[in-house]
């Protein structure tokens, strides 16, 4: 028999992930802080929980997908939180992107009550959440990862167990360093090509398949040239993740100069009202420094 699932946090990501659990036939209880957002799932057959603790009381496995570190602490450890309702032997899976250090603390607090924990941040955006094609990076005990596999497989396509508690969050942050530093390179290269009078599309065609090729170059490069800055992932969310990267680097005592610089560029763009643009709008920060605009039907 399938384990009973609870789902907490029905935002852009959570609503698609929860819908896929229902489609896969799991008994599902849901809760969202703003209650109205739970209605479509309840209409589709989920039960409505009255609080995170109430969801936990009805569930073997509780999935959380909320915004930031204090929000996970609130729904798991706070008043009427999951910890108040979870039975010994229950499993909490956190799919939010939050601090690795706090993740280890939450895992330890739950362990004291006999409740298991996995950190399982995701990548793949709202589209991946809706289609069930997310990449999921999982930290925690191997036995619980095995137990969670049917649940994770209903929400994602690539599920990778990367280590103990907090390791999933660490790998997610590695992903974010690669995304933004690569985007910084893409933006600088396009600015240089523009200033040098090159045909930008031909330039991309020439370099995209070689050693300099990357997902960011091949997908976001053309969007920058066309000046299409609609978000796949917003600057505001990217900035939250870079804050987590830089806090963690600080705790580890290591310098991350390129990530720190991108963080400052994004901060400037946020101040200019561009926090809702896609993360490839990083190019706009360089354009403003250089007084040169990339693309736009040159
Ligand atoms: P979102 O649309 O803003 O939804 C956030 C959810 O968290 C909402 O359900 C919100 O409830 C809930 N929430 C926030 N603070 C809370 C609190 N203190 N107590 C209870 N509930 C709280 O965000 P999202 O895009 O779904 O992102 C969720 C997580 O996935 C984040 O950690 C994000 O970094 C990560 N992620 C997002 C993407 C993406 O492309 N969007 C991709 C990968 C990973 P209300 O409805 O009441 O506001």
- Residues with active-site annotation: 172
How close is the Cα of 193 to the center of ligand 1, in Å? 38
**Per-residue pLDDT averaged across 33-55, rounded?**
97
Residue nearest ligand 1's atom 22 by CA: 66
Average confidence (pLDDT) over 68-86? 98
Distance from Cα 289 to the centre of ligand 1, integer Å = 33
* SS3 (DSSP) at 219: helix
How far from 46 is each of 5, 28, 132, 286, CA to CA, in Å? 10, 5, 18, 47
Distance CA 238, CA 279 (A): 7
Distance 65 CA to ligand 1 centre (A): 6
Q: Quickly state the pLDDT bin for 232 (edges 50, 70, 90).
A: confident
Query: Residue 246's CB: how many other CB atoms inside 10 A?
Result: 16
Spatial CB neighbours of 45, under 8 Å, sequence gap ≥ 6: 22, 28
- Using alpha carbons, select from 153, 144, 141 the residue that is nearest to residue 89: 144
The helix or strand, by DSSP H or E, that contains position 103, with its residue range, turns out to be helix 100-112
Average pLDDT, the chain: 97
Q: How far is it, in rounded angstroms, from Cα 194 to Cα 171?
A: 35
Identify the residue whose C-alpha is closest to ligand 1 atom 38.
125
CA of 93 to the centre of ligand 1 (A): 15
pLDDT tens string 201-225 = 999 999 999 999 999 999 999 999 9
Q: What is the pLDDT of residue 297?
A: 63
Q: What is the per-residue DSSP string for 44-72?
A: TTPEEPSSHHHHHHT-SEEEE--SSHHHH
Closest ligand 1 atom, residue 71 Cα: 18
Going from the C-alpha of 9 to that of each of 50, 69, 82, 99, the distances in angstroms are: 13, 13, 12, 18
Residues lining ligand 1, CB < 6 A?
9-14, 32-34, 37, 65-67, 71, 74-75, 96-97, 122-123, 125-126, 233, 237
> Strand ranges (DSSP E) for the chain?
5-8, 28-31, 47-48, 61-64, 91-94, 116-119, 122-123, 134-139, 156-163
Q: Which domains does the chain have, with CATH numbers?
A: 5-164 (3.40.50.720), 170-290 (1.10.1040.10)
Q: What is the pLDDT of residues 145-193, one digit of tens each?
A: 999 999 999 999 999 999 999 999 999 999 999 999 999 999 999 999 9
């Amino acid at each position: 028999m399938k384990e009973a699932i609870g789902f907490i946090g029905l935002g852009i990501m959570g609503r698609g992930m929860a819908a896929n659990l229902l489609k896969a036939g799991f008994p599902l209880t849901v809760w969202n802080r703003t209650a109205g957002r739970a209605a479509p799932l309840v209409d589709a057959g989920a039960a409505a929980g009255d609080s995170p603790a109430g969801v936990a009381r009805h569930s073997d496995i509780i999935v959380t997908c909320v915004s930031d570190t204090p929000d996970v602490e609130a729904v798991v450890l706070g008043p009427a939180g999951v910890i108040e309702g979870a039975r010994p032997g229950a499993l909490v899976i956190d799919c939010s992107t939050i601090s690795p250090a706090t993740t280890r603390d939450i895992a330890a607090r739950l362990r004291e009550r006999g409740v298991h924990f996995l950190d399982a941040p995701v990548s793949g955006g709202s589209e991946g959440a809706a289609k069930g094609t997310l990449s999921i990076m999982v930290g925690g005990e191997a036995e619980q990862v095995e137990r969670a596999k049917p649940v994770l497989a209903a929400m994602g396509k690539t599920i990778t167990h990367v280590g103990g508690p907090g390791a999933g969050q660490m790998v997610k942050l590695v992903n974010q360093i690669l995304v933004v530093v690569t985007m910084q390179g893409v933006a600088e290269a396009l600015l240089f090509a523009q200033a040098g009078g090159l045909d930008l599309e031909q330039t991309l065609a020439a370099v995209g398949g070689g050693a300099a090729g990357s997902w960011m170059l091949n997908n976001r490069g053309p969007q920058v040239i066309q000046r299409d800055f609609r978000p796949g992932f917003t600057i505001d969310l990217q900035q939250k993740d870079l804050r987590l990267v830089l806090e963690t680097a600080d705790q580890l005592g290591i310098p991350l100069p390129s990530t720190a610089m991108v963080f400052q560029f994004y901060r400037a763009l946020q101040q200019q009202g561009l926090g809702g643009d896609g993360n490839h709008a990083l190019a706009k920060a360089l354009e403003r420094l250089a007084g040169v605009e990339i693309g736009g039907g040159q």
